């Protein structure tokens, strides 16, 4: 009995441990979707079915990149003469071969061939495909449902592959028509002041009111006398009803670098000591000493 138990233990130790695979999708901006497969197991192929709502894959140009080097369905369609790395992974979800475009339902079919003869596969977090999702209406998002492609045998094939989990759906934002995100804490203020472009300058939150550089022989800087000249006429101008408001001063709202009001018992103003302190902290610092503002609250820059 003891010998039998020892033998069973040795067999168990000899069996490679199974490793789970996580399939995730990421909106990388500019309408680009990245799909990753992450596992300690050796991955040799991935097949996923995509169903796109609110967008499409318009052409082969919507394929951008992959860590896998073999596109099985493209090879099937091409036939003799296919070379490793050629083509794209966008396949027909209902049959072998490449997709017909534009496609709202398609498969991603990728494999990996070791051309050095070591029969190696891919492990770790690998890019299955980076795709551009076309046709998304401005201000909306496309929803991409991801599932295992049963026509091609499931999601992942390889060595010691365990359970496969798939993040789905993934939302990919379309082109934005407003530079400030609607989720920004200052969005309502931005709208109330006429959606000034200057609040979306790359370094406005650092004291850059005009969005331009000044320079001398030593270099250039984003925060200087031009910005101070915009700030000074708008400094502590009361908003209604206590005063005429910052919009009465040319570009004055652009010197509201913290996008917040200050106030006292008499009223509130948009450009004050907080904004002046921001400007002074970055005064004539040579580029690139001043970093761009954090993009958390922005869709894109206006300069």
> Quick one: 155 and 31 in the same domain?
yes
Taking the C-alpha atoms of residue 104 and residue 225, their distance in angstroms, rounded to an integer, is: 53
Q: Is 120 a residue whose pLDDT tops 50?
A: yes
Task: Say how far apart CA 199 and CA 14 lie, in whole Å.
Answer: 63
Q: Are residues 119 and 196 in the same domain?
A: no
Q: Could you tell me which residues come within 8 angstroms of residue 296 by beta carbon, excluding any fewer than 6 positions away?
A: 181
pTM exceeds cut of 0.95: no
Residue 1 lies in a domain: no
Answer yes or no: do 168 and 27 share one domain.
Answer: yes
Q: What range defines the domain where residue 197 resides?
A: 187-297
**157 and 195 share one domain:** no
Start-to-end C-alpha separation, the chain: 79
**Using an 8 Å Cβ cutoff, are 133 and 144 in contact?**
yes
CB burial readout 158-171, b (16+ within 10 A) else e: beebeebebebbbe
Identify whether residues 231 and 287 lie together within a single domain. Answer: yes
Inside any domain, residue 10: no
Could you say which of 173, 207, 232 is where a domain stops? 173
Q: Would you say residue 9 lies in a domain?
A: no
The string of pLDDT tens digits covering residues 20-59 is: 999 999 999 889 999 999 989 999 999 999 999 999 999 9
For residues 57 and 103, what is the distance between their CA atoms, to the nearest angstrom?
Answer: 5
Q: Work out how many domains the chain is built from and give that number.
A: 2
Give residue 63's pLDDT. Answer: 97
Say yes or no: 262 and 141 in one domain: no
Residue 5 confidence class, pLDDT cut points 50, 70, 90: very low
Domain boundary among 111, 139, 173: 173
């Amino acid at each position: 009995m003891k010998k039998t138990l020892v033998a069973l233990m040795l067999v168990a130790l000899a069996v490679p441990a199974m490793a789970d695979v996580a399939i995730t999708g990421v909106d990388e901006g500019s309408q680009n979707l990245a799909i990753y497969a992450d596992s300690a197991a050796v991955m040799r192929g991935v097949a996923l079915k995509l169903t796109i709502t609110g967008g499409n894959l318009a052409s082969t140009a919507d394929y951008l990149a992959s860590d896998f080097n073999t596109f099985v369905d493209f090879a099937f369609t091409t036939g003799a003469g296919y070379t490793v790395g050629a083509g794209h992974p966008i396949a027909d979800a209902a049959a072998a071969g490449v997709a017909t475009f534009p496609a709202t339902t398609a498969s991603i079919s990728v494999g990996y061939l070791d051309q050095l003869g070591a029969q190696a596969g891919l492990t770790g977090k690998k890019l299955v495909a980076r795709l551009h999702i076309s046709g998304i209406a401005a201000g909306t998002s496309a929803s991409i449902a991801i599932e295992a492609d049963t026509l091609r045998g499931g999601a992942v094939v390889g060595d010691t592959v365990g359970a496969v989990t798939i993040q789905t759906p993934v939302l990919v934002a379309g082109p934005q028509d407003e530079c400030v995100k609607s989720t920004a804490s200052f969005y309502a203020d931005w709208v109330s002041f006429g959606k000034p472009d200057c609040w979306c300058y790359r370094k406005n939150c650092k004291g850059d009111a005009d969005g331009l550089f000044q320079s001398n022989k030593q270099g250039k800087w984003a925060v200087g006398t031009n910005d101070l000249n915009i700030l000074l006429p708008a400094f502590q101008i009361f908003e209604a009803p206590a005063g005429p408001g910052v919009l009465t001063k040319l570009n004055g709202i652009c010197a509201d670098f913290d996008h917040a009001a200050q106030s006292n018992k008499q009223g509130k103003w948009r450009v004050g000591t907080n904004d002046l302190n921001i400007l002074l902290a970055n005064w004539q610092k040579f580029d690139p000493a001043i970093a761009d503002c954090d993009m958390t609250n922005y869709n894109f820059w206006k300069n």
